[in-house]
Amino acid sequence: MSGALLQVRDLSLRFHRRGRTPVHALEGVSFDLDAGQTLALVGESGSGKSVTALAIAGLLDPAAELMRGSVRLAGIELAGASTSTLEKARRELLGIVFQNPRRSLNPIRRVGRQIEDALQARRPRPARQARERAVELLAQVGIDRPESRRHAYPWELSGGMCQRVMIALALSGEPALLIADEPTTGLDVSTQAAVMDLIAAQARQRGMATLLITHDLALASGRCQRVAVMHAGHLVEDAPVGALFGAPSHPYSQHLIQATPRHGLPLAALEAVPGEVPDLGRGDLPACRFAERCTRRIERACERMPVLSSTGPGHRVACWNPL
């Protein structure tokens, strides 16, 4: 574990709100990600998946306060790091694919120029070399006629094409880690598959680690080696994909799986996750943030925050009464 490319330890942060109690967005999040490995962070909306990704990348809102914890990428500490250290890490080690490419790309700048700008920011080079490399990257992500398409504006491209441009931008720095935050949101099914195939192929070719942020458990089960389940800012289970979907240990993981449509499963057999994600701005949050939704809760035990404990090879769960 100590040789992992990405090491997140006890990451805890809150967001301050004027005149209101803070939102305790993350509490004690810990996981590792090895080079070349794909890990999915899954959970409902508001579980803390995207906040975790933004914390790793050093892109949090100014209202965020790091309470404690460590984020080490290739041995470099990023939690609480200086702006220059974070910018260097994003240039040289980290690529990010956001969930809404149209909002992430500059609508009044041609896509080729945006890739060239990223290349020049990472390593200055003659303009001709930057143009040639931008065309190469567009070709690598499956854009037809890249030489002519580099002149297009984002609004002239489809959602799938814009997402390919975002992937080209993310890969332009030859990152060791790619963070893909809901990269298939808003895309049709065939385009979703093509985008995920592209990310997987680039990861294999480059030996790149991938952190996939998704609420889609079917996507996670087919694309990742490991899955980490988040609920209300807690990481409640971390396991190899086969172990998690074959024998989940946390009640919340089981509920998520039971609520996921599967081939051959009648819709009537699906079960909704009970209750709702708690308001993380409450002043009376229980130590176990799933306790109010849990049918297996042990009253006194759930007054203490459960810690991640090993249940098998590479399998950890944070629950006082696991399955």
- Residue by residue, DSSP assigns 245-306 as HHS--SHHHHHHHHTS--TT--GGG--PPSS----TT-TT--SSTTGGG-SS--TTGGGS--
- For residue 233, the model assigns a pLDDT of 98
Q: What is the pTM of this model?
A: 0.95
pLDDT attached to residue 106 = 97
For the chain, the distance separating the N- and C-terminal CA atoms, rounded to the nearest angstrom, is 25
pLDDT at 1: 44
Tell me, what amino acid is at 173?
Answer: G
Can you list the domains of the chain with their CATH numbers?
6-93+176-194+202-317 (3.40.50.300), 104-174 (no CATH)
pLDDT digits (tens, 9 = 90+) for 250-302: 999 999 999 998 888 888 789 999 999 999 999 899 999 999 999 999 988 88
Would you say 11 and 79 are in contact if contact means Cβ atoms under 8 Å apart? yes
Per-residue pLDDT, 267? 84
pLDDT at 266 (0 to 100): 85
pLDDT of residue 235: 99
Confidence tier at 2 by pLDDT (50, 70, 90): low
Closest Cα to residue 34, out of 68, 4, 77, 63? 4
